[in-house]
Amino acid sequence: MLAPSRGRIHRQKAAVAAEIDAVWGESSCTTSSHLILNFAMNRNPTRSILITGASTGIGRAAAFGLLARGFHVFAAVRSDRAAEALRAAAPAGSSARLDTLLLDVTDATQIEAARQRIEAAVGDGGLWGLFNNAGISIAGPLEHIPIESLRRQLEVNVTGQVAVTQAFLPLLRIARGRIVTTGSNSGYFSTPCLAPYCISKYAMEAFSDALRRELRPWGITVSLLEPGAIATDIWQTSGSEFQEFMRQPPPGMIELYGGLLDSLGQAARSAAGRAAPVEVVTRDVVHAFTAPRPKSRYRMGPGSVSRKLQSYLPDRWLDWMVAKKLKWG
Ligand SMILES: NC(=O)c1ccc[n+]([C@@H]2O[C@H](COP(=O)([O-])OP(=O)(O)OC[C@H]3O[C@@H](n4cnc5c(N)ncnc54)[C@H](OP(=O)(O)O)[C@@H]3O)[C@@H](O)[C@H]2O)c1
């Protein structure tokens, strides 16, 4: 069936709005009639959500959770293999509502291609949701972290999220949609030698707060997830990347920071061992995309609430606690 043209939809809205005004007998109602109609007619029968970083972990679980609740999901991955694997594992009966697309958040050409494809698919209904979830984690002492690694960390976790959000905001505005971003408890608690990642997640706190305030007039809600440790591949991928970095450590790093790096390795292994299943995040993602009043922040997983509380302590106390835990200084 052919989709109705914009002009036809506009004429239909105008006609029905005039009928509503005739019934209510007040021309001043025209604006509110149009608002009601825009709301009713612009709603997709099946609402669509774009998820970045959907190949594994939180993004993949969210994709399946949202498909299971009847949403149409545009799952963004970075390879055809990942797309195939995702489609193969999708919940039964949901394949017609799952579209996979290639989207590296640092690639402007791929972002534009994804925008065009999604715009064509959602038509006048717009996009209901954007889940900014893609992320990487890079570790190392600030004195020695290669500046290129820091740039890559910020490019993926910060600039890429902003670029994707900019591209999809016009479609989200049409649907009066929702934006959910995966921050972290590292967005309010800085762990030594995890500064590249923490800097990026602190930035996403600012991103989400500013965006929420900027988009208020359009009723686009903005939520930030602040997970603690969650059992996903990120622990392995960041661990492997760190091992790679340690193969040829910068001169002097081991002599200066070897003790701290050992303690952190132990702390990371222990946190990974206590990590919560990914479903605790999916529950809140679903809430953020479905609740009448989504929260601005969601905390879940070990270390999410406790680190928030610790962040209120005086700096000297907190520094002492961290030093004691890591046996450093
Ligand atoms: N797991 C935790 O304990 C935890 C805690 C707090 C916050 N988080 C955050 O949760 C989010 C998801 O991570 P996860 O734990 O689910 O780990 P994950 O399983 O490693 O997922 C990361 C996802 O990001 C994708 N990605 C990486 N670089 C990308 C890029 N340049 N463009 C587009 N996608 C890219 C990955 O795709 P590929 O498969 O192609 O690499 C993967 O799909 C991240 O933002 C992370 O910082 C995780």
pLDDT tens by residue, 103-118:
999 999 999 999 999 9
Q: How far apart are CA 295 and CA 129, in angstroms?
A: 15
With 80 as the cut, is the pLDDT of residue 182 above it?
Answer: yes
Q: Is 238 in contact with 136 (CB distance < 8 Å)?
A: yes
pLDDT band at 260 (very low <50, low <70, confident <90, very high): very high
152 Cα to the center of ligand 1, angstroms: 14
With 70 as the cut, is the pLDDT of residue 31 above it?
Answer: no
With 60 as the cut, is the pLDDT of residue 20 above it?
Answer: no
With 50 as the cut, is the pLDDT of residue 87 above it?
Answer: yes
Closest by CA position to 60, among listed 77, 41, 46? 77
Task: State the architecture of 46-326 in CATH terms.
Answer: 3-Layer(aba) Sandwich (3.40)
Tell whether ligand 1 has an atom less than 6 A from the beta carbon of residue 133.
yes
Amino acid identity of 178? R
Query: What is the arithmetic mean of pLDDT over 163-184?
Result: 98
pLDDT at 45: 63
With 60 as the cut, is the pLDDT of residue 316 above it?
Answer: yes
**67 SS3 class:** helix
Average pLDDT, the chain: 90
Q: How far apart are CA 86 and CA 91, in angstroms?
A: 10
255 Cα to the center of ligand 1, angstroms: 32
- Determine the angle formed by the axes of helices 147-154 and 195-215, rounding to 10 degrees: 30
Residue 183 CA, closest ligand 1 atom number: 7
All structural domains of the chain with their residue ranges: 8-37, 46-326
Tell whether ligand 1 has an atom less than 6 A from the beta carbon of residue 58.
yes
pLDDT tens by residue, 134-172:
999 999 999 999 999 999 999 999 999 999 999 999 999
pLDDT tens by residue, 277-291:
999 999 999 999 999
pTM of the full structure: 0.88
The token duo for 313 is 């302590």
Q: What is the DSSP letter of 226?
A: E
Strand partners, 293: none
pLDDT at 271: 95
157 Cα to the center of ligand 1, angstroms: 9
Query: What is the arithmetic mean of pLDDT over 194-223?
Result: 98
Closest by CA position to 100, among listed 112, 117, 83? 83
* Residue 21 vs residue 138, higher pLDDT: 138
- Residue 190 CB: number of other CB atoms within 10 A? 16
- Residue 83 CB: number of other CB atoms within 10 A? 20
188 is catalytic: no
pLDDT band at 11 (very low <50, low <70, confident <90, very high): very low
The token duo for 147 is 């500046």
| Those residues with Cβ within 8 angstroms of residue 174's Cβ, 6 or more apart along the chain or in another chain | 42, 124, 125, 126, 127
pLDDT band at 44 (very low <50, low <70, confident <90, very high): very low
